[in-house]
Amino acid sequence: MARKLIDVSELQIERRKFEPVLPDILKNGAASVKPVEGKITQSVADQSKIKEIFKNIYGLPEITFKKGTNNAVVEKAVKVAVVLSGGQAPGGHNVIAGLFDGLKIANSKNTLIGYLGGPSGILENKYKVISEKLLCGYRNTGGFDFIQSGRTKIETPEQFCLTKNNLLMSNVDALVVVGGDDSNTNAAMIAEYLKKEKLDKCVVGVPKTIDGDLKNEYIETSFGFDTATKIYSELVGNICRDVNSAQKYWHFVRLMGRSASHIALEVGFKTQPNIVLIGEEILEKKMKIVKIVENIVDVIVKRSQADKNFGVVLVPEGLIEFIPEMKKLISALNDALAENANAVAGINSAAGKKEFICTKLPVELSDLMKSLPSGIASQLMLDRDPHGNVQVSLIETEKLLIEMVHKKLSELKKENKYRGKFSAITHFFGYEGRCGIPSNFDANYTYALGYNAAVLVLNGLTGYLSSVRSLALSPKRWECGGIPLTMMMNIERRRGKEKPVIQTALVDLNGSPFKEFVKNRDKWALSESYIFPGPIQYFGPADVTDMTTRTLKYEQSEK
């Protein structure tokens, strides 16, 4: 008799039984929550420009939730839409679950719909009505496959008008945008447009990105960061154990993180490899790529003198954008490619495109472009993403480093200053971490963010980002509320034009996490202090299953 195939794993079955822990302030529903206004806010930079763009939602107060009674906002039934925007992050489905439960507990007549395929679903008015029957199989799961995601950006007058018309046509009272810095900037733009049009519709954001770069005092971490770094740490830990077993290879591991090195730093804490490159430090010290290579070579040579021709190097995905000379080149390329898009598109060969674009760059940047290996130069000229960013996940920085390290070691060998062996292996861990089953922390955090967003929506608090904080404490003690989206914004140059965008949070070189790293990295460099965290633990002692990131631990140890 043939065995019956199953469509879910044993772990999936168990995770369906997991019940997220709500913060105490939310556990009795929106009717028992009172929003309290705090200080009036302003943007983190470029205040006059941001205020001019967001005339209707700029300067909103901070919102903190306190205990209340019989909040009348739950009496009117509302229809809320949710959209997943940008790249995936573990826990997205629990945001939807928390939002759904928060709405239904407040009023069983409330309706939640999910736009399909990201923001394009809003423009095409494609959605599904979310029911408990549809949602139950997605609780505590990874991925965004319930309603899918997308990177369409709503930015033209025609798109804003279409968004308005579709919200009106579907009788949607509020829109919840789950996304990163660019997606939540887009949420603010939609909120501003609807206010300008004098429509009583609410737009609320939820902070999502595994990169960890959407954070501040009120957004202590973006969801998915905890799970993704645990997944990467298992893989890097396995490599550390392998390298210590074979003792003959140098592994260069590139980790996701487009604009900040938070992932590399956290995985560094969890595994303690020999070298962890932090882009923000490289930028602060204005290090050229030659200097970075010399630092790596210095560790390789010192280890070889102890007959240790092996090690592990962590490279943040966005490293190339932190190197000042490369940062200038990329910025110039962004403008040159935008201004000469048609001409570049008409050139068939990569060499021809490189030759043409070099004529559009300042002399020193043109020389730098010409000096790069053809593969890296071609990758720098790839099409930008819809937000105008270089697709750094396609730039193989680790291979560039290996090529330059190998060349430097060969020179040292000729000078009789290096007698070791250098064999390198490359890895890129990126998409492996984006759709993992969320850790207990992320399952709790995302559910709370969604439920919290429901309370913001029911109170008509448009232009806010769902904020759940004090995350190093137990979930019951987490604090909830909202912060204005405009509070996090500055002006950046995108596709040759100045655009408002939520400011990217970089690794703080004066913060406790980085200081802790600096205190330990010299020891890690020359020893085998490797840690092997293993896979995510969902069941067992709380010290193992419910721990937060090392980053949060170090940041909040000062409080």
396 known member of a binding site: no
CA separation for the pair 225, 212 (Å, rounded): 6
Whether 211 is a known active-site residue: answer: yes
266 known member of a binding site: no
494 known member of a binding site: no
Element (H, E) at 364: helix 363-371
CA separation for the pair 273, 311 (Å, rounded): 7
317 known member of a binding site: yes
248 known member of a binding site: yes
b/e per residue 289-299 (b: at least 16 CB within 10 A): beebbeebbeb
487 known member of a binding site: no
Q: Which of 211, 213, 226, 442 is flagged as catalytic?
A: 211
- 496 φψ region: left (φ > 0), alpha (ψ -120 to 50), beta (else): left
258 known member of a binding site: yes
CA separation for the pair 272, 246 (Å, rounded): 18
Asked if 347 and 308 touch (Cβ cutoff 8 Å), the reply is: no
The phi and psi torsions of 271 (rounded to 5 degrees) equal -125, -20
Asked if 310 and 250 touch (Cβ cutoff 8 Å), the reply is: yes
Q: What is the dihedral of CA 351, 352, 355, 360, to 10 degrees?
A: -130
Residues 6+ apart with CB under 8 A from 513: 265, 269, 507, 550, 551, 554, 555
Element (H, E) at 481: strand 479-484
First-to-last C-alpha distance (Å) of the chain = 62
209 known member of a binding site: yes
Q: Compute the C-alpha angle 188/150/322, nearest 5°.
A: 75
Structure-token pair, residue 303: 């280890």
522 known member of a binding site: no
87 known member of a binding site: yes
CA atoms in the 13 A half-sphere facing the CB of 305: 9
231 known member of a binding site: no
Element (H, E) at 237: helix 225-246
211 known member of a binding site: yes
Asked if 391 and 384 touch (Cβ cutoff 8 Å), the reply is: yes
* Residue numbers belonging to the annotated binding site for diphosphate: 87
Which residues participate in the annotated binding site? 87, 181, 209-211, 248-249, 256-258, 317, 431-434
Binding-site residues for substrate, in ranges, read 209-211, 248-249, 256-258, 317, 431-434
- Active centre residues (catalytic): 211
Please report, in range form, the residues annotated as the binding site for Mg(2+): 181
